[in-house]
Amino acid sequence: MCIDPGRPVRAAALLVPAILLTGALGCGGSQPRREAEAPAPAASKVLTAAERAAWYQECWGHFNSRAWDRFRACYADGVESEQVGSGHPRAKGFDAMESMVKTFTSAFPDVKATVELILVKGETILGVDALTGTHTGPLLGPDGVSVPATNKPVGIYQAHLVRTDPAGSRIVKEEFYSDSGSLMAQIGLNPMPARPVATPAAAAPTVVIAAGTPAELGNIELLRAQMAAYNSHDAKGVSAFSAPDLVLHDMGMPADQTAKESLAGMQAFFSAFPDAKLAPESIWAAGNYVVATGRLEATNTGPMPAMGVRKPTGKTVSLRYLDITHWERGKIEEEWLFYDSSAFMGQLGLVGKK
């Protein structure tokens, strides 16, 4: 199968042949019999970018079917796993990560991840999936307190950023970006407005592979220019990079926004946080997509009723985020912004999470 790295394709099933280890017994006519020499370890097959995308989707399939042995094979023993902004400590080692996963699946026994987008660049894979299920078991919070089952359905989108080993067949580090505020609102424990229960929008994921083309590098520079406008608090300058029909999926807000709504929200945010700055940590592209991770640093010195900030708190926030932009002809047509709104509100002192 030939894949154009600049165009989305559908992930296909991948069959990876098993590697057979063979050795030979050394023997000679009149010479004493020697012990068999242990075979040299076989080198792992290095997966192509397309195979990595298919392997990644298979790993989520193992999670969905609770095939834990196969799921374990997707991870390195020393994997580091983090639910960014959740308040839960980073899990170090597969056993700790598996315990965290099984704690979540005990709260949502029917939980399923439907992958809708896969971006691949070398040893980095980004997946966006709809996580859906029903809260029928106790949910352990970061404070160690369990929330009894509410029997309510949940559906949120999350971004899953992973780094693999050089062969592309083991995850050595992963970060989940999602909004716990929306999840808690969906089960009735967060009074703030939040997104309705999401349902998967695609039967198969869109797969895009980075190629390092001039177009990809150009889109990265466009995003850097937009960030510079943001850090200068030039809201109209930021908006100039948006297509007229922009759709912004801000996962911490209760509904998608248009270009006009995004501009108005940005202007209100700058009024409430006049020193707001974006501190990017990584920026890379795959096809027409650009992925950026980093921190928002800001001090609240003004009201922002839309976010429940009635009076200035004077507090400073440092919020980690993951942003995906889809570019066409130098403009952003669609954007996905992932962060934990509960972490944001907690740092402002408005909810319990710090």
Sequential pLDDT tens for the chain (354 residues): 333 334 343 333 332 333 322 333 333 444 444 445 555 555 679 999 999 999 999 999 999 999 999 999 999 999 999 999 988 899 999 999 999 999 999 999 999 999 999 999 999 999 999 999 999 999 887 677 888 999 999 999 999 999 999 999 999 999 999 999 999 999 998 888 889 999 988 779 999 999 999 999 999 999 999 999 999 999 999 999 999 999 999 999 999 999 999 999 999 999 999 999 999 999 999 999 999 999 999 999 999 887 778 899 999 999 999 999 999 999 999 999 999 999 999 999 987 544
d(CA 198, CA 29): 73
Of 90, 94, 132, nearest in space to 110 by CA: 132
pLDDT value of position 350: 85
Residue 173: per-residue pLDDT:
98
Domains of the chain listed by start with CATH number: 46-209 (3.10.450.50), 214-347 (3.10.450.50)
pLDDT of residue 27: 35
Task: List phi, psi (to 5°) of 54.
Answer: -70, -40
Give 323's contacts (C-beta < 8 A, 6+ positions apart). 291, 292, 293, 335, 336, 337, 338
* Closest to 99 measured CA to CA, from 89, 91, 107: 91
Q: What is the pLDDT of residue 201?
A: 84
Beta-carbon-side half-sphere exposure of residue 251 (alpha carbons within 13 Å):
29
The residue behind tokens 């839309």 is 306
Dig out the tokens for 202 from the structure. 């695609």
Give yes or no for a contact between 225 and 241, defined as CB atoms under 8 angstroms apart: yes
pLDDT of residue 6: 42
pLDDT at 278: 98
- On the 0-12 / 13-18 / 19+ scale of CB atoms within 10 A, 295 is middle
